[in-house]
């Protein structure tokens, strides 16, 4: 079969789709992946047919950090402002990517578009998400809401609020674009509407051990396990190998695609926290943040998290879904410093699982609080044992194979 994958966002939104694409190709299917054009090399290196979408996703992430934080309505406003100038180009490329395809699998920002194109073509579509969204439950609140002691109704209403504001905002934007682009299919229905004649199944690409599926999620909601990708062509630089061999295990520090408006402040905090905790470190990314690093700190522009984290004593990161998954799979404590979006949610999950200290919001981060968490992560034996146990569970899962099996079961059953 011919599979089209649609995603828009940072590297953490693209890599899992590349992993899924590789899985489909190994199963004998043809795969095309549409994602921001900056990820062409990442996707093409796996042999996947790539369709580039306009726009700079890093600028979107930056605006979410600077202008939205944890405020969901501001997130919607930031995303809408980002999408408007590039929307026509994105939709045209998405339509091209969906030509002559048999299945469409779409993620967060392309949910409605993927659904409507699939509906127009009369083919099945699936929603792939990396955090719990569009699935109402009374077991925990929506990802951008605090877990207040207001009962089940409050929790359910927070999910409904997220769903309906996303739907209404998407509908207004889509209809505005379609006025000047009538070739686009009409927006007919919400993909997950209870009364829809063809409700779109949701695949959550995280571990059911990290977030067990609530009992009140519907039968069309599936938690598959993480979608990890391999990078067999990557070879660690000699300076990294030498650094690892010349002392105790370091900690890793990375904020992925998330950056800060005040990099000097963050660099100072990290320097001082490492000095206070007495730890060596490998810093991934943030190449413009640091200069004149001591011999106990190594800076890399990039490195596969799966390879690197497994060789660390702990990991400090922003709490993105993919980075959290890689950190937990490594079997070491995770220190989460969330900036925006779903990051606080995953930071709280890490702490609830006993695999890391309480999350440290980036805006309130100090050298002292970070140093205290680093010391706890490298010395708390119970925390380290919990992190190791979680790693064993995650490594036993095969999220890509599980997702493919679910999709093919639906297709062969004629949804």
pLDDT at 32 over 60: yes
Give, in words, the CATH class of 238-395.
alpha beta
Residues forming CATH 3.40.50.2000 domain(s) in the chain: 2-226+397-413, 238-395
Averaged pLDDT, 307-315:
97
Stretch 240-249: mean pLDDT, rounded? 96
State residue 194's pLDDT score.
53
The CATH homologous superfamily to which domain 2-226+397-413 belongs is: Glycogen Phosphorylase B; (3.40.50.2000)
At residue 222, φ and ψ (nearest 5 deg) are: -130, 135
Q: Is 330 helix (H, G, I), strand (E, B) or coil?
A: coil
Helix (H, G, I), strand (E, B) or coil at 49: strand
Cβ burial, residue 205 (10 Å; 0-12/13-18/19+): buried
pTM of the model: 0.92
Q: Which of 288, 402, 318, 356 is CA-nearest to residue 12?
A: 318
Residues in the chain: 415
11-26 and 321-329 helices cross at what angle (nearest 10)?
Answer: 70
Residue with more model confidence, 347 or 170? 347
Nearest to 316 by CA among 359, 349, 354: 359
Q: What is the pLDDT of residues 252-307, one digit of tens each?
A: 999 876 666 677 888 899 999 999 999 999 999 876 677 778 999 999 988 999 99
């Amino acid at each position: 079969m011919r599979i089209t994958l649609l995603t828009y966002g940072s590297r953490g939104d693209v890599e899992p789709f590349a992993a899924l694409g590789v899985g489909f190709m190994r199963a004998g299917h043809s795969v095309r992946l549409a994602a921001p054009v900056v990820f062409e090399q990442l996707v093409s290196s796996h042999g996947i047919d790539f369709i580039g979408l306009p726009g700079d996703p890093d600028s979107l992430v930056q605006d979410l950090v600077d202008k939205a934080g944890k405020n969901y309505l501001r997130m919607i406003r930031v995303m809408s402002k980002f999408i408007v100038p590039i929307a026509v180009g994105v939709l045209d490329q998405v339509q091209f990517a969906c030509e002559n395809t048999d299945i469409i699998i779409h993620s967060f920002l392309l949910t409605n578009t993927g659904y409507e194109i699939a509906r127009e073509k009369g083919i099945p579509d699936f929603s792939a998400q990396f955090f719990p969204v569009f699935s109402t439950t009374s077991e925990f609140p929506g990802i951008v809401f605090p877990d207040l002691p207001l009962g089940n109704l409050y929790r359910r209403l927070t999910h409904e609020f997220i769903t309906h504001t996303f739907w209404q905002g998407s509908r207004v934007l889509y209809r505005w674009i379609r006025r000047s682009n009538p070739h686009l299919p009409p927006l007919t229905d919400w993909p997950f509407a209870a009364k829809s004649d063809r409700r779109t199944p949701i695949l959550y690409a995280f571990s059911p051990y990290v977030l067990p599926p609530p009992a009140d999620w519907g039968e069309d909601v599936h938690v598959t396990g993480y979608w990890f990708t391999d990078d067999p062509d990557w070879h660690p630089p000699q300076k990294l190998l030498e650094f690892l061999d010349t002392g105790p295990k370091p900690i890793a520090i990375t904020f992925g695609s998330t950056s800060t408006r005040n990099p000097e402040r963050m660099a100072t905090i990290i320097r001082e926290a490492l000095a206070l905790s007495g730890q060596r470190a490998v810093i991934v990314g943030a190449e413009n943040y640091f200069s004149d690093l001591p011999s106990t700190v190594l800076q890399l522009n990039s490195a596969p998290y799966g390879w690197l984290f497994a060789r660390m004593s702990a990991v400090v990161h922003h709490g993105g879904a993919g980075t959290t998954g890689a950190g937990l799979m490594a079997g070491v404590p995770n220190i989460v410093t969330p900036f925006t979006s779903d990051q606080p949610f995953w930071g709280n999950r890490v702490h609830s699982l006993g695999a890391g200290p309480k999350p440290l919001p980036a805006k309130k981060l100090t050298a002292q609080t970070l140093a205290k968490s680093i010391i706890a992560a490298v010395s708390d034996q119970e925390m380290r044992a919990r992190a190791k146990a979680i790693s064993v569970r995650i490594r036993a899962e095969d999220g890509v194979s599980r997702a493919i099996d679910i999709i093919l079961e639906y297709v062969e059953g004629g949804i």
